[in-house]
Amino acid sequence: MSFISNIKSNYNPKRLAVKLNAKGEQFVVKKHPWVFSNSIVKINDNAHTGDLTIVFSKNKNKVIGLGLYDANSPIRIKMIHFGTADVNESFFLKKVEAAFEKRLKLLQTNTTSFRLIFGENDSFPGLIADVYNSVLVVKLYSEIWLPYLETILKSLQKVSETETIVIRLSRNLQQSNKHELNDGEVVYGYLKNEVVQFVEHGVRFSANVILGHKTGYFLDHRENRRLVGGFSKGKRVLDVFSYAGGFSVHALYNDAQEVTSLDISKQALEIAIENGKLNDYNGKHITIAGDAFVELKRLINNNKTYDVVVIDPPSFAKQQSEIELAKKKYAQLAELGEKLTSKNGLLVLASCSSRVVVQSFFDINLQTLRKQKRVFKNILNTQHDIDHPVTFPEGSYLKCAYYRFKD
């Protein structure tokens, strides 16, 4: 098997010598992966996206880091290495091997899906690589990788030992004229079915690697799904913003009495039902299609309560201006969730908005729940699973809190 020819870029990158101002240099010294345009003091003329930038210290003329130039982003240089190195096939292979080693503990469990490359946190800014059984899905968010893509894909395939590689492209990459790739294209091996089955802590799932969101599934909540499953035996569970039923299926697998999956997408709910059927379970699986805020109020008005309530919304703050509104929405969901949580029940609240920082989210939940005048205990707070390592502040986005009510 060989890689298809159109993964090659039509531009050959060159090397750029770069000097930064004091603030920019300090960020690089502290191993932050982003260099903004206003930090650049000196750079070669005619720089192009994908060029290798060699960052020199201002005074000692010493190489302090290597990055890739991105003409289309305010983050003008995206760092791929701190210190000096030869950027070649061996360089990328070692980076992928280092990332794989961080995931070894997870792979000792009954799990065949994991994130092999988590963007900047694994020295590949703007690149995600997820493994679903024997299929590797690589999603590109930046043109900086186009000149190096074939080399990187070979390293990813070698380390992961996957049989198939699918390329997914962000919206801006789909509109780029710098390549001939198509979103959802198989660039290595072949794909029998666009829906790929995999195992997560013993529970069977499927992902549409061609048409599904992101790379086909959301792997980041894996550990939280396992934990919720452990709390669900004999319980009535409500999974809000359920998407493909991650929490729902774990609950059913762990002998929940009844599980309700709530999502605005009927198609996602159909996938949730099918994912449930991949496993043996005896409980009842109910679906509700509709806006979560509206449907939660309707359930409250109908005096519904659940032993376990999980609320895991999409990002509410994709830009700075949305932060305050996002905080109000999280508070509203905490209040609605409390009203739906039965006596001695468990409320699980999650956020994937990186702009709402960890402590702020936890504080919002506590402040809101204390106003409800029920006795509760914050039994657990979690963040990223092992295959989503965080190496810089902005790389952290996931947070999840568990509240046990004492009625």
Q: What string of H, E and C letters represents the secondary structure of the chain?
A: CCCCHHHCCCCCCCEEEEEECHHHHHHHHCCCCEEEHHHEEEECCCCCCCCEEEEECCCCCCEEEEEEECCCCCEEEEEEEECCCCCCHHHHHHHHHHHHHHCHHHHCCCCCEEEEEEHHHHCCCCEEEEEECCEEEEEECCHHHHHHHHHHHHHHHHHHCCCEEEEEECHHHHCCCCCCCCCCEEEECCCCCCEEEEEECCEEEEEECCCCCCCCCCCCCHHHHHHHHHHCCCCEEEEECCCCCHHHHHHHHCCCCEEEEEECCHHHHHHHHHHHHCCCCCCEEEEEECCHHHHHHHHHHCCCCEEEEEECCCCCCCCHHHHHHHHHHHHHHHHHHHHHEEEEEEEEEEECCCCCCHHHHHHHHHHHHHCCCCCEEEEEEECCCCCCCCCCHHHCCCEEEEEEECC
Q: What is the pLDDT of residue 71?
A: 94
Q: What is the pLDDT of residue 2?
A: 60
Asked whether 168 and 189 are in contact (CB, 8 A), the reply is no
Residues ≥6 apart with Cβ < 8 Å to 230: 254
With 0.75 as the threshold, say if the pTM is over it.
yes
Q: What is the pLDDT of residue 318?
A: 85
Q: What are the tokens at 49?
A: 């996206």
List phi, psi (to 5°) of 241.
60, 50
Asked whether 79 and 34 are in contact (CB, 8 A), the reply is yes
Q: What is the pLDDT of residue 11?
A: 65
CA distance 230 to 228: 5
Burial class (CB within 10 angstroms; exposed 0-12, middle 13-18, buried 19+) of 133: middle
Q: What is the pLDDT of residue 7?
A: 62
Q: What is the pLDDT along the chain (407 residues), one digit of tens a residue?
A: 566 656 655 668 899 999 999 999 999 999 999 999 999 999 998 999 999 999 999 887 899 999 999 999 999 999 999 999 999 999 999 999 999 999 999 999 999 999 999 999 999 999 999 999 999 999 999 999 999 999 999 999 999 999 999 999 999 999 998 899 999 999 999 999 999 999 999 999 999 999 998 999 999 999 999 999 999 999 999 999 999 999 999 999 999 999 999 999 999 999 999 999 999 999 999 999 999 999 999 999 999 999 999 999 999 988 899 999 999 999 999 999 999 999 999 999 999 999 999 999 999 999 999 999 899 999 999 999 999 999 999 999 999 999 999 87
Nearest Cα to Cα of residue 259 among 290, 278, 285, 297: 285
CA distance 123 to 96: 9
CA distance 240 to 244: 11
